[in-house]
Amino acid sequence: QQQVKQSPQSLIVQKGGISIINCAYENTAFDYFPWYQQFPGKGPALLIAIRPDVSEKKEGRFTISFNKSAKQFSLHIMDSQPGDSATYFCAASLSGYSTLTFGKGTMLLVSP
Amino acid sequence: DGGITQSPKYLFRKEGQNVTLSCEQNLNHDAMYWYRQDPGQGLRLIYYSQIVNDFQKGDIAEGYSVSREKKESFPLTVTSAQKNPTAFYLCASSLPGQLNTEAFFGQGTRLTVV
């Protein structure tokens, strides 16, 4: 049973464009939704995270949009750059019980 | 520098052998985790530990074993019972019970069966 579904599996965006990655979750008790960025051969690193008491969070070119009623959240990368080319994972967990459930990942390629 | 150190970076195992992957952290985190990453499969939880001398199975624990004798260390043994061990293994740590439950990852160990 996959509790966090992520799409698309891969994405190609031109430099300067907007990259959008979507995730849907099933467990309504989840209350922490991070996005991780992973470069080839490296471990993932936290990019940005949101809690369900807000509908949007922005950090630089990265924005999370959260729709609690639809049980969906998405990552928007504005002005995408070749250096953003990486695999992105969404995840969800419960506060106080910190095991993360990950989506299957999206491989982003930003073409120059 | 605080962080998580995994070793070795690359590991080769013969059929029927047990191998142990090392994970050490100096972040003073209570919780530690092992994930397995396969292409297109995301990160799947193998084992986790929230306190010394205690650990729990994750979603894919069969064929793996762990120990947590020290707060800083959480080694993973891939036993001969694991039929398809070739994968990228990631260790992580976090402070459980906090509002910010960020997990910090090591750089991974790539295990290949030869």
Q: Nearest C-alpha of chain B: how many angstroms from A2? A: 11
**Residue B39 banded pLDDT, cuts 50, 70, 90:** confident
8 Å CB contact between A103 and A6: yes
Cβ contact A9–B40 (<8 Å): yes
CB contact under 8 A, A98 and B31: yes
**What pLDDT, on a 0 to 100 scale, did the predictor assign at position A105?**
96
Residues of chain A positioned with their CB less than 8 A from the CB of B103: 46, 98, 100
Q: Among the residues of A1-112, which ranges form H helices?
A: none
B42–A93: do the CB atoms touch at under 8 Å?
Answer: no
Q: Are residues B101 and A32, on separate chains, in Cβ contact within 8 Å?
A: yes
* Least Cα separation, residue B109 to chain A (angstroms): 9
The pLDDT value given to residue A2: 61
pLDDT value of residue A99: 85
What per-residue confidence (pLDDT) applies to B99?
A: 56
Q: Which residues of A touch B43 (CB under 8 A)?
A: 44, 89, 100, 102
pLDDT for A61 equals 97
pLDDT in tens, A61-76: 999 999 999 999 999 9
Per-residue three-class SS string for B5-62: EEECCEEEECCCCCEEEEEEECCCCCEEEEEEEECCCEEEEEEEEEECCEEEECCCCC
Residues of chain A with pLDDT under 50: none
Q: Among all residues of chain A, which has the CA nearest to that of B98?
A: A96
In which residue are the tokens 């960025």 written? A37
* C-alpha distances in Å from residue B73, one per residue of A16, A28, A90, B11, B111: 43, 34, 27, 19, 19
Q: How far are the Cα atoms of A37, B38, B52, B63 from residue B44, in angstroms, in the given order?
A: 16, 9, 22, 14
Cβ separation A44–B41 shorter than 8 A: no
